[in-house]
Amino acid sequence: MNKVIRLKCFQQLPNYRKPTSFQIKESYPLPPYSTVIGMVHTACGFTEYHPMNISIQGKYHSAVSEMYTKYAFGIPYDEARHQAWVKNGDKKDGINIGIGYIELLTDVELVIHIQPENETELEIIKQGLTNPKSYLSLGRHEDLLRIDEVAIVEIEECKQVDLLYDAYVPIDRLKHAKTSVYGTTYIINKCFSIDKNTGLRRWQYNNKNGKIKVSHVSSGNILGTPLYIKEDFLPWNSDKDGIPVFLA
């Protein structure tokens, strides 16, 4: 299949939280694959996981730190130490209310390519993103997503690509490329299952595509042809406007 959905969108102050950050909620520089796939499922009203490959690129102006209200709970309520409580069966759980710090990215522009495993879902996903079932967000629920373009475009093979945006590039695509360009390496969640009883998402760590190892490569770099040809080498891809596509 050589067709994908290209989504161009904008966010003002999102946070794509790194799961290992606690004292300060740090942000990935771009939304994780799982976050984008979850957003697509929400837009289309999918209640079961629909496999798809995603390419994520974008840029932001700066990063700022902001305070937020933090709630900590999970132990029995004690009037002397808790500011509030919540009912838990026939008991009360105490809630501590304090402040925390969060990293926010400013004026984020995103270009996302979506390739569903089932080609017949191209039009379904396009319609879902154009007329979503509910408001769309990436990151936190309050990180609203402004949709600027939804289009089905063709992708083609090419010998080199010119990065117009920062991008997640799968590490296995860089191993044999004619480039020494590497950025920060991340291992990012992708696949999940949906619990039918609770509706919660569960990460599929045992799935070979459950996590994707990527390099965050900065814009302005050129990724070229391989130093030597290998049987498993795949050429680079770009869409009709020359925007690279790094599906994973």
The predicted structure's pLDDT at residue 180: 65
Check whether 147 has a pLDDT greater than 70. Answer: yes
Measured between alpha carbons, how far is 55 from 113 in angstroms, rounded to an integer?
A: 5
The predicted structure's pLDDT at residue 228: 47
Mean pLDDT, residues 33-53 taken together: 93
Tokens (6 digits) for 164? 């117009």
Measured between alpha carbons, how far is 214 from 248 in angstroms, rounded to an integer?
A: 9
Confidence of residue 223 (pLDDT cuts 50, 70, 90): confident
Confidence of residue 47 (pLDDT cuts 50, 70, 90): confident
Task: Tell me which residue of 146, 66, 73, 131 sits closest to 104, measured CA to CA.
Answer: 66
Confidence of residue 134 (pLDDT cuts 50, 70, 90): confident
Summarize pLDDT for 48-66 with one digit per residue, the tens: 899 999 999 999 999 999 9
Summarize pLDDT for 4-28 with one digit per residue, the tens: 999 999 999 999 999 888 889 999 9
Range 49-58 burial, b when 16+ CB lie within 10 A, else e: bbebbbbbbb
Out of 98-107, 115-124, 155-164, least confident range: 155-164
Count CA atoms within 13 Å of residue 151 on its CB side.
11
Q: Which residue has the higher pLDDT, 189 or 197?
A: 189
Confidence of residue 179 (pLDDT cuts 50, 70, 90): low
Helix or strand or coil: residue 143?
coil
